[in-house]
Structure 1
Amino acid sequence: MGPDTADHPGDGAVTVRRGLPAGTERRAAELYWEAFGRKLGPALDPADKAVPFIAAHLNADRAVCALIDGRLVGLAGYRLGGRGLTGGTAGAVLRAYGHLRGLHRVLLLTLFERRPGAGQLLMDGIAVGPDLRGRGVGSLLIEEVAAVAAEQGFREIRLDVIDTNPRARALYERRGFTAVRTEETPYLRRLLGFGAVTTMRRPVGTGAEAAR
């Protein structure tokens, strides 16, 4: 399947492609941290350590990205074959942050681990540059992930969204996702800043039509 494009006045064409172009790892990590730093901060702060760590442990082949004139402006990840967009073993965390400060970070990161059910492609969030938000880039990224899911024979796409990110949830609903379960996690509000996680699903091959 070829790349999708969209024109935005003054911005040139937004091109969506699979994988991260070589040399964009740092920018990808910055976008990811901008989008999820509030959520991941307790585990990976400070930013000057978190961004290099994320950049060094990205799985480029588990991403779809949005580019304008070769500049990375957005990305989305998915989990396939046991690997997602972001990686990094417990040992890598301990090496980056030290054993004394790293152990509790490893434990916090385990709270974010998710496993897909049978027939599900697990989507790993969307990060779009602040200057492009609300201009259709997120929708293009979602539809490219949906194309991956269809080609790989999955029945549905699943994602989780936290209660402090209503903008993302609204985008997912517009693209055909439906909330199926909300897990209240009040014990995490003080620790991680959110108190509920909602699981959303979209049948493969139906979301784009439903969103029109």
Structure 2
Amino acid sequence: MSIEEGFVEGEREDVAALYWEAFGRKLRPGFVDEATGRMVVRAALRSDRLLVARQADRVVGVCGFYDAGTGVADLGWARLRESLSVPAALRARLVLSVLSRSDRPDVLVLDGICVDRAARGRGIGTALLSAAADRARKIGASTVQLSVIDSNPRARALYERHGFARVGHGALGPLSLLYGFDGYTTMQLEVRG
């Protein structure tokens, strides 16, 4: 297995499918239908915001991160307007704003880790977390931060096994019906030195 920053254009569809499989439930409410959501996310993917795991020249996992205020999928107004009408772009911007995070000084904020369902249990998530910690050190960050939804205990257990500690918790309240999860835990890993 290899992990590198970015993907080649020929991998965009595979990366988009993997990302949508993992996060589509959260992103779907921002769009009029699933096909539109998939199309917009596929077009909005930022290769320079991803660590990509490959086995046998096939994408098997990705780990996104924020940089300069943008994560894996650039769903800002200009990008949304490239694909959507004004009302549809307004809807997407409003609905998805609840999910957005931003980068912070001295912290590498992750924007989703996902592993191909058929490749789970092979250490790919672990390798992506290690690559994220290496990237944090490379850019001079002392901490890696991520959020995990409360309905994903397997992911939370993985993060805890690798030294991530809980630093916060949030709840969506009535919006949980829209997004499909009740709350999330923010976790951090110190990576100094």
Same fold (TM over 0.5): yes
Larger radius of gyration: 1
1:102 to 89, 98, 112: 89
Structure 1 residue runs of 5 or longer lacking an equivalent are 1-13, 207-212
- The aligned counterpart of 1:161 is 148
Which amino acid in the other structure matches residue 18 of structure 1? E
Distance 2:160 2:40 in 1: 32
2:67–2:103 Cα contact (<8 Å) kept: no
- The aligned counterpart of 2:2 is 15
1:74–1:126 Cα contact (<8 Å) kept: yes
- The aligned counterpart of 2:190 is 203
Q: CA RMSD in A?
A: 1.8
Q: Deviations over 1:11-32 (max 9, x none)?
A: xxx2211211231111101000
Most deviating of 33-42 and 94-103: 94-103
- The aligned counterpart of 1:151 is 138
Q: Deviations over 1:114-149 (max 9, x none)?
A: 123331110111111110112210111111111110
Partner SS for 2:37 = helix
Does residue 69 (structure 1) correspond to residue 56 (structure 2)? The answer is: yes
Partner SS for 1:197 = strand
Compute the TM-score of the two structures, normalised by the length of structure 2. Answer: 0.92
Distance 1:80 1:39 in 2: 21
Q: 1:147 to 1:113 in 2, by over 3 A?
A: same
Distance 2:167 2:127 in 1: 23
Does residue 174 (structure 1) correspond to residue 161 (structure 2)? The answer is: yes
- The aligned counterpart of 1:138 is 125
Q: 1:99 to 1:194 in 2, by over 3 A?
A: same
Partner SS for 1:168 = helix
Q: Percent identity?
A: 35
Distance 1:104 1:157 in 2: 31
- The aligned counterpart of 1:210 is none
Compute the TM-score of the two structures, normalised by the length of structure 1. Answer: 0.84
5 Å-filtered alignment, 1:4-153, equals: 14-44=1-31, 46-153=33-140
Distance 1:197 1:148 in 2: 24
> How far apart are 1:199 and its partner, in Å?
0.8
Q: Deviations over 1:72-94 (max 9, x none)?
A: 11111111233322113224324
1:116–1:158 Cα contact (<8 Å) kept: no
1:90–1:106 Cα contact (<8 Å) kept: yes
> How far apart are 1:154 and its partner, in Å?
0.4
Stretches of 4+ aligned residues off by more than 4 angstroms: none
Most deviating of 150-159 and 114-123: 114-123
